[in-house]
Amino acid sequence: MGGSGSKLEKALGDNFPEGERYFGLENFGNTCYCNSVLQALYFCISFREQLIEYYAKHKSLTNAEENLLTCLAELFSQDAHEFLNYLLNEVVDTLEKEAHAAKVNQKTSPPSEKIADGPKSGLANGAKNEPLATWVHKSFQGILTNETRCLQCETVTARDETFLDLSLDIEQNSSITSCLKNFSSTETLNAEDKFFCDKCCSLQEAQKRMKIKKPPHVLVIHLKRFKYMEQLGRYKKLVYRVVFPLELRLSDTDEEADIEYTLFAVVVHVGSGPNHGHYVCLVKSHNHWLCFDDETVEVVDEPSVQTFFGSTYDFNNNTDHGYILFYDSIKRK
């Protein structure tokens, strides 16, 4: 922990968690976007437990280090959200390759090594293999339903798709709740955008909406703060004030009851534009909020989290804005 550790212990005093250690991450030259995401993921309990188990199994971080270096070399945009997507998908690919290799080894193993009742990998009646559900999927994956209702015959066409995070459009002086409502709002398809209805066998006016069918255990929300401006010919950072609550309730899903979440991490973008700036991470640990700024770790009080909502006006000295939010589900009632 170094100097940061001693400052934390002094700041928390008797409230410092027994046996806990907090470590900053060194910046190897514009790697703050990686550091902030890694700190947030580490404090996702289910992800951390599986990561520790994976490390204990392999006893080596060689492959992980190589993948991370490859990632840093490829992500020239230095965007925390892109890095998060890259990292989660890389972990999934690695786990799926290992599972596939294990199946191949099991099939090619000598008969004497097979269990007494015979191999268990056979599928009855031509059933298909189910997609592998890795611990990344179990923590972060949810299901969206894209519903389209034909206004002529009222037939509803639904298509499911999985997601690891939700990217939400934002507006000035809004909230996560209103952003989620806009995400699931109904859109009318008409004129040149008519929908081809299979039942009517023709193009028809329709209503389309996206809803969260199955919420994930860990809900990751990405706020679209970088928008391409046609008149400027470049991306601009939207400094809009978007309130994100410490407790979030999701309704209008296929679950029997509303799903309640609690905020445990926020990746913050510091700076006025998309091509320059800095990333830090706010994390809630043992009922204390901590700010991880590369190597530095400091205590922040809970009201200070509100200062990262954004700015009420476009021109404001505050350039620290919440960018990626991490919510963990509370027990489902």
Coil, strand or helix at 262: strand
- Residue located via tokens 């939700």: 166
Mind telling me the catalytic residues?
Answer: 32, 278
Token reading at 151: 């206004």
Is the Cα dihedral 87, 89, 92, 96 positive or negative?
A: negative
DSSP secondary structure letter of residue 53? H
CA distance 329 to 249: 9
Please choose, from the candidates 247, 219, 270, 225, the residue with its C-alpha nearest in 3D space to the C-alpha of residue 36.
270
CA distance 248 to 317: 29
Q: How many CA atoms lie within 13 A of 206 on its CB side?
A: 25
CA distance 27 to 293: 9
Please choose, from the candidates 237, 257, 239, 259, the residue with its C-alpha nearest in 3D space to the C-alpha of residue 248.
259
Please choose, from the candidates 307, 272, 273, the residue with its C-alpha nearest in 3D space to the C-alpha of residue 291.
307
